[in-house]
Structures are given as C-alpha cells and as structure tokens.
Amino acid sequence: MREASFISALRAALRRNGVWGARAERLMKEWTDHARDDAARRVEEGAAPEVARDAAWKALGSPDVLAAASGRELARASWEGRHPWLAGLVLPAFAWFALAMATLFLPVWIAWQFFEIEALERSHPAALLAALRCWQAVINWLPWLLSMAWLARIAVRMPGGWKHFWITAVVLTLFSTSFWMTIEPPLHGPNSGTLMVYASGILGVIFNAFFHLIGYGPVLGPWSVWARNTTPCWIQTAIMLFGAISFYRKATATRTTASATPAG
C-alpha cells in the first residue's frame, strides 16, 4: 500500500471511530513521523526507498485496528467517554428536566408572588399578552436551542466517540421537544383566552396514547387538535435528527485525498 493511500485510509478510519479535528491531526502527525523514521532506517539498511516506505506503514498495523485503538484510548481519557450512558443519557435528561421546571414554574411563582393577574388582564391586557408571548417563546424554543448547541459541542469535541454522540442525540431529540405551549388571546373579553401546555414530540405521542388507552382521551382532547397545535415540535425534531445524521455522514465519509505529503 502506498503512503498516500495508507494515510487516506487511516484518516477515514479515524473519523469512523469518532476521532477527527485536532486530535486526528496530532495522531496522523505522530504516525507519519514514526513511519518516515522507520522508512529512513530501512533505507540505511539497504532497502529500496519505495519498499522501505511501504514496509514502514504496514508495520504500524491495519488502519482500522489503529483507529479503533485510538478511539478507545481517547474516549477513556475523558469523563464523558468513560461514562457514555451517564454523560449522554442521565445528565442531559436531568438538565432538560431542571430547565423545563424552571421555565414552566418560575414565571408562575413570580406572577403569583408579585402580580395580580386578573387586575392586569383588565388594566393592561396588551402588556400581559406580550409577557405571555415571551414566556411561550422561552418554553417552546429555549430547550431546543440549548439542546442543538449541546449536540453541536459534542459533535465538534467528540469526547466519547460515536456511542456517546448517538446516545446524546437520541435523548435530546426526545426530551427537548416534549413540551409545547399555545396561547389564544382573549378575543371575547376577560377570561375568554386559553393557555395550554401540551406534551409533544415523540414522548408526547407516547403520553397521549397511554392516556387515551386508559380512558382519559376526552380530557386530553382530539388527536387532530393536539397534532395541529404541536406541529412545530415535529419540525424541531426533524431538524435535530437531520443535523445529527448529516454530521455523522459527513464525518465518516471516505476521503480520497490524503492531507499529508508523501516522503520524497
């Protein structure tokens, strides 16, 4: 195998094992320097330069074996890599729960402690509606945006390889879109508006199906109303899954051009 082909295969194998970016470049430099030193030693011992280079690269081992060992080593070097289920499942789920509780109940507590909602509805309905719209935007978009940012961080740093990446991607996709708030303004006078918080996304489907099965369907309302009011959640879910899959496909695509220059 010629040097350029080996380097290309090795780089592709590293990416398939979740090693890329600066860490991959460091490993590639170490292996290239080692192989070229070995090739120079073989030339001094009388081997032809081309034969010496091929033998030196083959002595390193199979690209897949080298990349897999490097991926395991780098994963063990980080706490997230050593505990992919804890870092990818438990912590994101707990962070989502804490954020959801804060965004749902902290504004309610503040309003109950410091404001008279019925008086505000009569005296400043426009201001009250604007505040509710802001609350709605926070509940509907902040968990999802933070989840996208966290997944992007995991994708860029890849602290635990693809296993940790996919655990995190699935958990964030499920939980970050599981609440959706809708507001109907009071068009027919005070107390005529509605504020609803739906269980939405994939977890919302499971939640609604369960409660319909045990006889609470009339309380939750028709599926058609739920689907219409939670449609943006499916867009969020699709974007997150598309981003995760696209990154994986891009990161693991086979590169045909080697980035290291063959020894002369």
Number of helices (H), then strands (E), belonging to the chain: the values are 14, 2
Has residue 8 been placed in a domain?
Answer: yes
Residues 56 and 117 reside in one and the same domain: no
Residue 261 lies in a domain: no
Asked if residue 104 and residue 62 are part of one domain, the reply reads no
Partners of residue 105 on adjacent β-strands: none
Which long-range CB contacts under 8 A does 95-100 form with residues at least 24 apart? 96/143, 96/147, 96/172, 96/175, 96/176, 97/175, 99/142, 99/143, 99/146, 100/143, 100/178, 100/179
| Closest to 168 in 3D by CA, of 235, 80, 238 | 80
Q: CA-to-CA distance for 96 and 142, rounded, in angstroms? A: 10
What are the tokens at 44?
A: 């001094």
CA 72 from centroid of its chain's CA atoms: 20
User: Are 120 and 183 part of one and the same domain?
Assistant: yes
Q: Which pLDDT belongs to residue 91? A: 92
- Last residue of a domain, which of 76, 100, 119? 76
Would you write out the chain's pLDDT as a tens digit for each of its 264 residues?
577 888 888 888 888 888 877 788 888 999 999 989 999 999 998 888 888 888 888 888 888 888 888 888 888 888 888 888 999 999 999 998 899 889 989 988 988 888 887 777 777 888 888 989 999 999 999 999 999 999 998 888 888 888 889 999 999 999 998 889 999 887 766 666 788 888 898 888 998 899 888 887 777 778 888 888 889 999 999 999 999 998 888 777 654 333 343 333
- Where do the H-state alpha helices sit in 45-124? 49-60, 63-76, 79-82, 84-85, 91-114, 117-123
Q: Is 161:18 a contact under the CB 8 Å cutoff? A: yes
The pLDDT, as a whole number, for residue 37 is 92
Last residue of a domain, one of 76, 102, 134: 76
> Helix, strand, or coil here: 112?
helix
Task: Report the pLDDT value the prediction gives residue 86, as an integer from 0 to 100.
Answer: 92
| Both tokens assigned to 252 | 């693991």
Q: Which domain holds residue 197?
A: 79-252
Q: Are residues 130 and 240 in the same domain?
A: yes
Per-residue pLDDT, 191: 66
Domain for residue 263, yes or no?
no
Total number of domains in the chain? 2
What pLDDT score was predicted for residue 262? 39
Does 20 lie in the same domain as 48? yes
Amino acid letter for position 44 = E
Asked, for residue 61, whether it belongs to a domain, the answer is yes
Are residue 83 and residue 70 in the same domain, yes or no?
no
Copy the structure tokens of residue 146. 């933070």
- The amino acid at 219: V
Is residue 259 included in any domain, yes or no?
A: no
- pLDDT (0 to 100) of residue 258: 37
Pair 118, 72 in one domain: no
User: Is 230 part of a structural domain of the chain?
Assistant: yes
Instruction: Please tell me whether residues 199 and 131 are part of one structural domain.
Output: yes
Task: Identify any residues that bridge with 196 across adjacent strands, giving them in sequence order.
Answer: 182
65 and 118 co-located in one domain: no
- Residues 117, 68 share a domain: no
**65 falls within a domain:** yes
Whether residues 118 and 201 fall in one domain: yes
For residues 59-91, one letter each, b for 16 or more C-beta atoms within 10 angstroms of the residue's C-beta and e for the rest, the string is ebeebeebbbebbeebbeebebbeebeebbbeb
Predicted TM-score (pTM) of this structure: 0.76
C-alpha distances in Å from residue 212, one per residue of 177, 195, 205, 208, 209 = 21, 22, 10, 6, 5
Do the domain assignments include residue 190?
yes
Among residues 76, 91, 111, the one where a domain terminates is 76
Nearest to 241 by CA among 182, 168, 184, 190: 168
19 and 139 share one domain: no
